[in-house]
């Protein structure tokens, strides 16, 4: 299974359009190689370098999408709840809101992981689960995982 974006290559910088310094919209993503046994997919975007890459203290959750169809597929840039695939829903990020919250590192260059999980079930998790709730519900059900990592550092004032 693999996940990629037309907006940035693996390991490359995420364009500012998808960050708090730009339009703060979700990047386009596409995935392939989903196992035939998958019943649903989950997407979680995290930053393990928060708040400072030199002394990380937490993994910050930027985006959660639950119950994506278990097929090769994609999400367009700036996807909104009404444009998610049928049955899919967004979770609660660490900004304490449902939906996408783009990279906005307070200091240094951070890494952002877009992790796609193939599950052997659909999840009876809450309507807008947090990452902790979702990870508990996913436990024992992950049959494949793919990641796309991009980086971002705020532009220095001119």
Q: What is the pLDDT along the chain (158 residues), one digit of tens a residue?
A: 999 999 999 999 999 999 999 999 999 999 999 999 999 999 999 999 999 999 999 999 999 999 999 999 999 999 999 999 999 999 999 999 999 999 999 999 999 999 999 999 998 767 899 999 999 999 999 999 999 999 999 986 54
Q: Which pLDDT does position 158 carry in this prediction?
A: 45
Q: Which pLDDT does position 157 carry in this prediction?
A: 57
Pairing mode, if any, of strands 40-50 and 2-4? unpaired
Q: Which pLDDT does position 84 carry in this prediction?
A: 95
Q: Which pLDDT does position 127 carry in this prediction?
A: 85
Distance of CA 25 to the CA centre of its chain: 12
Q: What is the pTM of this model?
A: 0.95
Phi and psi at residue 18, to the nearest 5°: -95, 15
Peptide bond into 9 cis (omega under 30): no
Fold assignment, 2-124: Phosphatidylethanolamine-binding Protein (3.90.280)
Beta-bridge partner residues of 61: 46
Q: How far apart, in whole angstroms, are the C-alpha atoms of residue 12 and residue 149?
A: 8
Instruction: Decide if 41 contacts 119 (C-beta within 8 A).
Output: yes
């Amino acid at each position: 299974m693999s996940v990629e974006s037309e907006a940035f290559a693996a390991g490359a910088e995420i364009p500012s359009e998808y960050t708090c310094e730009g339009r703060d919209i979700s990047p386009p993503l596409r995935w392939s190689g989903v196992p035939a046994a998958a019943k649903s997919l989950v997407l979680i975007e995290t930053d393990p370098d928060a708040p400072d890459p030199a002394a990380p203290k937490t993994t910050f959750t930027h985006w959660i999408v639950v119950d994506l169809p278990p097929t090769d597929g994609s999400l367009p840039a700036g996807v909104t709840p009404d444009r998610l695939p049928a049955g899919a829903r967004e979770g609660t990020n660490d900004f304490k809101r449902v939906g996408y919250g783009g990279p906005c590192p307070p200091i240094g260059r951070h890494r952002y992981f877009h992790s796609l999980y193939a599950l052997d079930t659909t999840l009876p998790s809450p309507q807008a689960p947090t990452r902790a709730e979702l990870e508990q519900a996913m436990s024992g059900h992950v049959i494949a995982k793919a990641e796309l990592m991009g980086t971002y550092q705020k532009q220095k004032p001119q």
